[in-house]
Amino acid sequence: MIRILVFPPEFEYLRDHLGPHTTAGVWALVPIAVVMAAAAFFLQLHLQARAARLFSGEKATWKQFEGLMISASVAQIPGLLAIFGSMLGARFTAVLIVVIVSTTAVVLLGVPLVRGGAIK
C-alpha cells in the first residue's frame, strides 16, 4: 500500500522489468543465507569464548549479549537483501525462503544464551 502511495506509476514498470533478474538474485541468496547462518554461529562461539576468557560476572554476560547482537546481524544480511529484492520485483516465494532461513538462524543463535541464563 505504501509503495502505491509513495512511488510513481513508473515504478511498477521498473519492477515488472527487473522482476525476473531480481528473483534470480534472491534465489541465489538462499545458499548464501545458509552459509551466513553457519558463519554467524561460529562467530558467536568465538565471541562467547572471548567474553568468557576476558571478562567475568555481569560484564561477561553483557559481552555475550553483544556477541549475539553482532552474530545475529551477520545472519540477517541475506534477509535484508532479499527484502530489497522484493521491492525491486522479486517473487514472493524466493524472498520468503531467504527471510525464513535468516530469521530461523537468528532464533537459533539466541537459544544457547537463553538456556545458559545470559538472557532472561
Per-residue pLDDT reduced to its tens digit, 9-48: 788 888 889 899 999 999 999 999 999 999 999 999 999 8
d(CA 50, CA 109): 17
Q: Is the pLDDT score of 67 beyond 70?
A: yes
Question: Is 48 a domain residue?
Answer: yes
Per-residue model confidence (pLDDT) at position 3: 66
Question: Is 15 a domain residue?
Answer: no
Per-residue model confidence (pLDDT) at position 31: 97
Question: Is 22 a domain residue?
Answer: no
The count of C-alpha atoms lying within 13 angstroms of the C-alpha of 68, restricted to the half-sphere facing its C-beta, is 18
Per-residue model confidence (pLDDT) at position 117: 59
In which band, very low, low, confident or very high, does the pLDDT at 84 lie, cut at 50, 70 and 90? Answer: very high
Which residues have C-beta within 8 Å of that of residue 63, sequence separation ≥ 6?
A: 47, 50, 51, 54, 55
d(CA 85, CA 79): 10
Percent with pLDDT over 90 in the chain = 57
Contact 101, 30 (CB under 8 A): yes
Whole-prediction pTM: 0.83
Query: How many structural domains is the chain composed of?
Result: 1
Residue with the three cell numbers 551466513: 36
d(CA 67, CA 70): 5
Mean residue pLDDT across the chain: 89
Per-residue model confidence (pLDDT) at position 57: 86
Question: Is 8 a domain residue?
Answer: no
Question: Is 19 a domain residue?
Answer: no
Per-residue model confidence (pLDDT) at position 105: 96
DSSP of 23-78:
HHHHHHHHHHHHHHHHHHHHHHHHHHHHHHHH--THHHHHHHHHHHHHHHHHHHHH
Per-residue model confidence (pLDDT) at position 13: 85
Cell numbers linked to 93? 516465494
Per-residue model confidence (pLDDT) at position 14: 83
Question: Is 14 a domain residue?
Answer: no
Question: Is 10 a domain residue?
Answer: no
Question: Is 52 a domain residue?
Answer: yes
Domain of residue 85 covers 27-116
Per-residue model confidence (pLDDT) at position 72: 95
